[in-house]
Structure 1
Amino acid sequence: MRSNSVPIYAIVELLIRLEEYNPKIGNYKDHAITEKNVRVTTSTGHILFPLSLVMNQFHSPEAIDETTLKLMAVSYTPV
């Protein structure tokens, strides 16, 4: 994996996990990577994930606790 890329399926898995807390998040459409974040565009809006969270989902998804998922779900911005 290149240093400026992230596994898309880890992003999709995070979106699926967040749907439990916010069913309006929508489906993955695209993403853009900055130094510390991944801005994800969905079919209904966008959400900003810390790059570290996406990498945790890739390497150790069980380490992401429910509180973190809930906080991410409320940070979703609809279009």
Structure 2
Amino acid sequence: MPRDTESIEREIEKARNQLASTLDELTVRTNPKRLVENTKKTVLAKLNEPAVKYALIAVGSVVGLLVVRKIIR
């Protein structure tokens, strides 16, 4: 059963609109400023997790003690 040209045109227009919408969304997502902001938020959120925060404090303390010990000797 052949399709009429109007239904084909509607399908093409629908596909074109979906593609335009997808491209707009990709443009927003790949904006360099937005990528930097999202990465910064993600890193800060990860660093504020108790396990990560305390591990970094412990590592910093050990490194600090080693530096002080090296200076004193």
Range of TM-score over shorter length: under 0.3
TM-score (norm 1): 0.22
Higher strand share: 1
TM-score (norm 2): 0.23
Higher helix share: 2
Query: Which of the pair has the greater relative contact order for Cα pairs under 8 Å at 6+ separation?
Result: 1
Q: Which has the larger radius of gyration?
A: 2
